[in-house]
Amino acid sequence: MRHTQTNSSFGKSVTGSRIPRRLIAVLGFAALFATAGAAQTQMSPSCAPGLMSRDETESGTLLLRTSTPGCYLGAPRVAADISIEIAGPIARTKVTQRFENPANSWVEGVYLFPLPEGAAVDTLKMKVGDRFIEGQIKERQEARQIYEAAKAEGKKASLVEQDRPNVFTNQVANIGPHETVVVQIEYQESLRFEKDRYSLRVPLVVAPRYNPPPRAVVADNGDSPRLSLTDPVPDRDRLDAPVLRPEWGKMNPATISVHLEAGFPIGDIQSDSHAVSIVRSSKTAATLTLKDGQTATDGDFTLSFSAARDAAPTVSLLKERTGDGDYLMALVVPPSADQHVQPKPREAIFVLDNSGSMEGESIRQAKAGLLLALGRLKPTDRFNVIRFDDTLTVLFPYPVPATPENISNAESYVSSIAASGGTEMLPALLAALNDETPNDTSHLRQVIFLTDGEVGNEAELFSAIANKLGRSRLFTVGIGSAPNAFFMSGAARAGRGTYTYIGSIDEVGPRMAELFAKLERPVMTDLAAHWADVNDAEIWPNPLPDLYVGEPVMLTAKTAKLKGTLLLSGRLGEKAWAARLDLSRAHDAAGIEKLWARNKIAALDDSRVLGADADQIDKAVLQVALDHHLTSRVTSLVAVDVTSSRPLTASLTTRSVPLNLPAGWDFDKVFGKERDVDIQHADIPAGLLKQLDGKEHAENAVRPADAPMVLPQGATDSRLLLIAGVMLTALALMLLGARRKFAGMRS
């Protein structure tokens, strides 16, 4: 009875708020619809225009995550063909960049790319259909305005801007869905000559930079000191680009071909960085290509060659006539110093960069090089060791004698160093240049700085070197697959030393041996150039730098009329040296004018750290760059199509091209393991994405950019639909069961 009454009571409570069959049916259909919608969203989501699902992507497409689950934006890709023509000591390079848009929307591609630090960039061409549009050199702000106007009008446009002498940005506007836009850049440079070998380095990737944070500065204005912030890297945003995790593959492949016409019989030809195929067409000419056809852009390409035995020229004179005068390039190899000269004892300060970017192969190279250097010290030498990341350690309180005990202690310390942290280079540099005995002439004070140089505050560091150098000489050793050559060469030039590259652990021994030869032999000083019959000659660099063993005198000059004799003079150790050059023997060559202008711009920029007026320097650089059609800090190249291609009703998305991490670098050591990657760049090859199906570690495929772009939500999250479907299904089944039970009791 009680049971019956209970049922009757329950029945009344149910029937008191009757649930119509029609409502239950609606709930059931809603549940089925929601569940099916969830499954459909997970399988093939409805993506907003311009986005794509995984199933819509092609193999090898790099995907950029958006705020719409299951919807992605195809990353713009760049493939490059690099063609190099070498004539004597001059190289002319053409870089053809193909911007590929795999997305269904219109894209503006932004590509951060490297060039040699001495490159004179003078040509930009953009291919639209079968037409090539020639770029024009403009003042930087004017070029930007022209580009932005063309972008807004739907016209294809390309803008090449210099961020550093060795770092450029190429922006290409209005790349259509699944379209490829071709951009060509050309530049001129001189080869490096050392130890009877010509060498060329082609950088292929911009390594991530460490940018020190803004610093507080107190300005003392008498009674009212004022606190302000100064940024050592005011353009830090321009040096930032998304970086792909190495385990997800490589982007932006490049092909490289070199045609070499040396002008003299060629001996050995080699590349320490890549496997190459070499075809010699004559005693003086050869062609090189990559054995694998193409290479990943994750490390610099290097090439060197020597003259055949007894064929090396000791003097090279090249000239070029243009509308505004004659240009000369002179390369003179001084004789070797007397081997019997007793070198002075040295005070060697070794500085080791052990920041996170040095993890892996780089720190092994640097430590091996430093250990070799310690082993070369003589009992009459003094030394100290400094290591830095975002902290600093000076091993000894002051330079100590190179006794076996002190060297052993230093070797043990160096062997224990591991890589981590940021690259706070300025405190280490100041510590190394701190000289407690500035008037000591008994020892040569030499600072040997081992680093990859991946910092953004180069100008601040150059200024510190110029102000604190004193009697010290600074020798930089570039470590790793993609060192910052602009910093390495600029620091050595400001420090009146040299720079050395070590690209692999196999190069440590021979490269450090070359450096030791420089450190331990007399230097050619007091170099000067005198033009006997010309008064209007403008020579760069000016003044000429000190030279170390194996280095040539290399200069460029401009004059209204090339004639007479050029006299070079200097001191080699304790002896006077001179060479007379008959300019009538100069050979015609192309590109001397561009190299002279690039050298003048570099010299003008160097004078900024010596306190020259910044506005006057900018005006002078602008004039030289415009006169000689070169990119610089204050000029850019811009090319614009005359016709519109993007409908103004179609939206345009700006995306940076993801870069490879330099070979040998550790991603987590550089960027850290903890990063907020939600709705930011998380670039994953489509094939891997389908296999991983959204596993958590796949979300960290790329280091995110600092400023995320949130795309609009165009659909409900599939997980919410699935939950709603399950809940509605359960509710419908519960109500249906209750109704049937009540109906059974009544019957």
**pLDDT value at position 338?**
62
Cβ(187)–Cβ(202) below 8 Å: no
Which structural domain range is residue 29 located in?
A: 1-69+686-698+719-747
**pLDDT value at position 34?**
44
Cα angle at 59 between 55 and 61, to 5 degrees?
90
Cα dihedral value 196, 200, 602, 434, nearest 10: -70
**pLDDT value at position 718?**
39
Q: Which of the 8 DSSP states describes residue 514?
A: H
State the Cα–Cα distance between residues 546 and 458, nearest whole angstrom. Answer: 22
- 484 inside domain: yes
Q: Per the structure, how many domains does the chain have?
A: 2
Q: At which of 498, 519, 540 does a domain end? A: 519
- 287 inside domain: no
Contacts of residues 247-250 at CB distance under 8 Å and 24 or more positions apart, as own/partner, are: 248/683, 248/684, 248/685, 248/688, 248/701, 248/702, 249/685, 249/688, 250/296, 250/297, 250/298, 250/660
Cβ(657)–Cβ(102) below 8 Å: no
Predicted TM-score (pTM) above 0.85: no
State the Cα–Cα distance between residues 193 and 187, nearest whole angstrom. Answer: 19
Q: At which of 503, 519, 535 does a domain end? A: 519
CATH number at residue 432: 3.40.50.410
State the Cα–Cα distance between residues 573 and 335, nearest whole angstrom. Answer: 12
Q: Which of the 8 DSSP states describes residue 69?
A: T
Q: How many residues does the chain have?
A: 747
State the Cα–Cα distance between residues 91 and 83, nearest whole angstrom. Answer: 10
β-bridge partners, 188: 92, 120
**pLDDT value at position 250?**
87
Q: Which of the 8 DSSP states describes residue 212?
A: P
SS (H, E, C) 416-437: CCCCCCCCCHHHHHHHHHCCCC
CA 291 to chain centre: 25
- 136 inside domain: no
C-alpha to C-alpha distances, 659 to 102, 296, 383, 681, 683, nearest whole angstrom:
17, 10, 40, 12, 11
Cβ(349)–Cβ(449) below 8 Å: no
Q: Which of the 8 DSSP states describes residue 210?
A: B
- 79 inside domain: no
Provide the 10 A C-beta neighbour count for residue 668.
13
- Name the helix (H) or strand (E) containing 263: none
Structure tokens at 627: 């006169």
Rounded to the nearest 10 degrees, the angle between the axes of helix 425-433 and helix 458-468 is: 10
Q: Which of the 8 DSSP states describes residue 295?
A: B
First-to-last C-alpha distance (Å) of the chain: 17
Beta strands, E only, 14-164: 62-65, 72-74, 77-87, 90-100, 106-114, 120-128, 131-134, 136-139, 155-164
pLDDT average per 10 residues of sequence, the chain (747 residues): 34 40 47 43 55 60 64 79 96 96 90 96 93 96 98 97 97 94 97 92 95 80 73 92 86 96 95 97 97 96 92 85 94 76 88 94 94 95 97 96 97 96 95 95 95 95 95 95 95 94 92 89 88 87 89 94 92 87 93 97 90 92 98 98 94 90 91 46 39 36 37 35 46 52 49
Cβ(472)–Cβ(351) below 8 Å: no
- 550 inside domain: no
Exposure string (b/e) for 246-265, b if CB count within 10 Å is 16 or more?
Answer: bebbebbbbbbebebebbee
Provide the 10 A C-beta neighbour count for residue 390.
14
- 740 inside domain: yes
Cα dihedral value 700, 706, 710, 716, nearest 10: 30
- 532 inside domain: no
Cβ(266)–Cβ(309) below 8 Å: no
Q: At which of 519, 543, 576 does a domain end? A: 519
- 26 inside domain: yes
